[in-house]
Amino acid sequence: MGRTMNASPADPFASLHLEHSSTVDRVAEELRRAIFEGELESGTPLREVALAGSLQVSRPTVREALGALVAEGLLTREPNRGVSVTTPDPESIHDVCRARFVLEIAGVRSWNDAPEPSRQAVRDALAEFAAAAGTSGGGASYQTLNERHLAFHLSLVGLAGSPRLQAMAETLYAELRLALAQVDRARQNAPDQAGSHTLLVRLLESGDVEATVAELERHLAGAEVAILERLALPG
Amino acid sequence: MGRTMNASPADPFASLHLEHSSTVDRVAEELRRAIFEGELESGTPLREVALAGSLQVSRPTVREALGALVAEGLLTREPNRGVSVTTPDPESIHDVCRARFVLEIAGVRSWNDAPEPSRQAVRDALAEFAAAAGTSGGGASYQTLNERHLAFHLSLVGLAGSPRLQAMAETLYAELRLALAQVDRARQNAPDQAGSHTLLVRLLESGDVEATVAELERHLAGAEVAILERLALPG
DNA sequence: TGATGTCTGATTGTCAGACAATCTGACATA
DNA sequence: TATGTCAGATTGTCTGACAATCAGACATCA
């Protein structure tokens, strides 16, 4: 937003950026990665001293990172018993899907009022997803495919133009990624969704938001039963 | 929900409850209260050692509580410079209002499908608010009036029946309470909203959700400008 | 004068070590 | 079978400490 207008404090270094990450942030990020990658099985207890030893940091640092992940819902803390990787139950999956449906239709409904960059972001997300899906058959990893899939849906929420809704959606998707990581080890089921995504964008471009909402409802309902089915398989 | 059916593990002590609060939780709760009560002016730095001394707890405990409040948006952390009470700016207020509008219409739209207890909760919340507003003129404190006002809107979100949407709404309302605490010291502007709330419930009972959504949009838009006006006054 | 280098005190970020409270599980006991 | 007891493990919390960073005052130099 036009901050380059000021003359005196106009910073000629607006393009510079410095990563200001704390140790806690890095630990939390590493734990997230391990969880999404499926390296930590659901229910695995995360012992503070063991983690501190493995990561070469102190216990308070680990504790702080664990607290952040607990707040995100990825880990579950039982008082005096430690934290463990959250076990996704069907009820919570259903809740996440309901909640994300609310956020995504909010974005879809504001398609016509959304600024052009937000709309373009949706198209770009679709293109990236399609690219990953196209090179499938072993090329693009299942991980990136999943990531781009969620990125597309996140871009829909972005249409609403609200950072807070965006942040809420991100934590919801984090829970979905956790569930998917627990369920999948090598399976793939994305290609059938590529067509649905393209249809969604086509409907959006046509300006018929209500038709898009209806299609989105179908799409998400299908996604939910797919996840629930896979969750029910092993148990 | 019918858990008293089981015979073997039927616990005859379902009515018992024990508060399992940690020190960190109590510190965080005390800080929240102080913030909502307006005891801490916006921008006030919260020094860890000073807090630890005042509350008779250790610095790590304070740190953990501060981290939680930062995650909720009530406090702002600047790396290596400590945390301070978040200063609400108009842009973030606007964002909160947009986000809460999304959540509340989601609840309103599911009025007809909502279970009866949820609908009753809305009526009860309205009654409690009306009671507090009625005894106004100095009787019911401005604090409780504000609390019941937000409780009513929260009950609208509850109609959607999603714990996660509910939790998101709660953090949004926490930010609103922060903004209101910074702005108001003794002012009152609630009575004019009582009528609007009653109208909302009447529209809901009639089953015309779309009319309710329209009225809600007006109501929330009015609330936003009211907050923004009051925010702009002192500065 | 204005920009830069340096010092000092304060505060945070992180660490190490410790202790009490609590949980788990096994075992002993009535 | 139900209860009491114990040892080990883990968390929750505390104490004390240190390096890194920051803000401000001051000195230095072009």
Using the structure, give the distance in angstroms from the CA atom of A23 to the C1' atom of D19, rounded to a whole number.
Answer: 14
A158, A229 in Cβ contact below 8 A? no
Residue B190, pLDDT score: 52
Residue numbers in A near B99 (CB within 8 A)? 162, 164-165, 168
A143 CA from C9 C1′ (Å): 50
Strand locations in B88-210 (E): none
Residue B8 CB in 7 A reach of strand D: no
- Does the C-beta of B213 come within 7 A of strand D? no
Q: Which of B125, B90, B100 is nearest to B200 (CA)?
A: B125
pLDDT value, residue A144 = 85
Which helix (DSSP H) or strand (DSSP E) does residue A104 occupy? helix A90-109
A83 within 8 A of A45, measured Cβ to Cβ: yes
What's the pLDDT score for residue B8? 39
Region B209-213 average pLDDT: 92
Per-residue pLDDT tens digits for A121-157 = 999 999 999 888 776 555 567 788 889 999 999 999 9
Which pLDDT belongs to residue B202?
93
The protein footprint on chain C, as nucleotides within 7 A of a CB, is 11-18, 21-24
Q: Which of A112, A194, A104, A110 is nearest to A153 (CA)?
A: A104
Instruction: Check if the beta carbon of residue B96 is closer than 8 Å to that of residue B220.
Output: no
Amino acid letter at B148?
R
Largest interatomic CA distance in chain A: 65
pLDDT tens per residue across span A157-175 = 999 999 999 999 999 999 9
B8 CA from D2 C1′ (Å): 17
CB within 8 A of A67, min separation 6: which ones? B64, B67, B68
The pLDDT score that the predictor gives to residue B11 is: 58
Q: Which of residues 133-152 of A touch B (CB under 8 A)?
A: none
Mean pLDDT of the region A96-113 = 96
Q: Does B94 touch chain A (CB under 8 A)?
A: no
Whether the CB of A213 is below 8 Å from some CB of chain B: the reply is no
| Contact assessment for residue B133 and residue B145, using Cβ atoms and an 8 Å cutoff | yes
CA A96 to chain centre: 12
Yes or no, beta carbons of B103 and A102 under 8 Å apart: yes
> Which of A34, A59, A64 is CA-nearest to residue A47?
A59
pLDDT value of position A66: 95
- Identify the residue whose tokens are 């250790």: B58
DSSP annotation string for B36-88 = HTT-S-TT-EE-HHHHHHHHT--HHHHHHHHHHHHHHTSEEEETTTEEEE---
Q: Averaging pLDDT over each range in A226-230, B107-111, B194-198, which range is the top one?
A: B107-111
Structure tokens at B18: 């024990």
Give the closest of B64, B95, B106 to A162, CB-based: B95
* Average pLDDT rounded to a whole number, residues B61-81: 94
Which of the four pLDDT bands, split at 50, 70 and 90, describes residue B185?
low
Summarize the confidence of residues B121-139 as an average pLDDT. 81
Per-residue pLDDT, B13: 66
Does the distance separating the beta carbons of B79 and A22 come in below 8 Å? yes
Does residue A228 belong to the interface with chain B, where contact is any CB pair within 8 Å? no
Q: Give the Cα separation of A164 and A159 in Å (integer).
A: 12
pLDDT at B6 over 80: no
What are B77-110's pLDDT values in tens digits?
A: 999 999 999 999 999 999 999 999 999 999 999 9
| Per-residue 3-state assignment (H helix, E strand, C coil) for B117-153 | HHHHHHHHHHHHHHHHHHCCCCCCCHHHHHHHHHHHH
Considering only the beta carbons, identify the residue of A98, A165, A172 that sits closest to B99.
A165
Sign of the torsion angle spanned by Cα atoms A9, A13, A15, A17: negative
DSSP assignments along A115-166, one per residue:
-HHHHHHHHHHHHHHHHHHHTTTTTS-HHHHHHHHHHHHHHHHHTT--HHHH
Give residue B193's pLDDT: 72
Nucleic acid strand D within 7 Å of B81 CB? yes
Sorted by sequence, the CB contacts under 8 Å of residue A213 that are 6+ apart come out as A105, A108, A109
Mean of the pLDDT values across residues B105-131?
95
- For residue A130, give how far its alpha carbon lies from the nearest alpha carbon of chain B (Å): 30
pLDDT for B234: 57
Q: How far is B154 from chain A (nearest CA, A)?
A: 15
DSSP H or E segment with residue B166: helix B163-183
Q: Is the pLDDT of residue A208 over 50?
A: yes
Does the structure show a pLDDT above 60 at A1? no
Tokens, residue B194:
């009582």
3-class secondary structure, A207:
coil
pLDDT of residue A4: 36
Contacts of A49 (CB under 8 A, 6+ apart): A59
Residue B190, SS3 per DSSP? coil
Using the CB atoms, write b or e for B169-194: b if 16+ within 10 Å: bebbbbbbbbbbbbbbeeeeebeebb
Of the CA atoms within 13 Å of residue B232, those in its CB half-sphere come to: 9
> What is the model's pLDDT at position A5?
39
Q: Which is more confidently placed, B132 or B31?
A: B31
Looking at residue A135, what is its pLDDT? 66
Phi/psi of residue A24, nearest 5 degrees: -60, -45
pLDDT of B51 > 70? The answer is: yes
pLDDT value of position B192: 65
Nearest Cα residue to A228 out of A179, A186, A181: A179
User: Which of residues B5 and A168 earns the better pLDDT score?
Assistant: A168
Which residues from chain A sit within 8 angstroms of residue B162, using beta carbons? 95, 98-99, 102
- Asked if the model's pLDDT at residue B1 lies above 50, the reply is no
Measured CA to CA in angstroms, residue B230 lies from B96, B147, B185 at distances of: 16, 18, 11
For nucleic chain C, which protein residues have CB less than 7 Å from any of its atoms? Answer: A 22-24, 52, 56-61, 64, 79-81; B 45-49, 59-60, 63, 77, 79-83
Chain B contact for A20 (CB, 8 A cutoff) = yes
Which nucleotides of chain D does any protein CB come within 7 A of? 10-17, 20-23
Does B42 have pLDDT greater than 60? yes
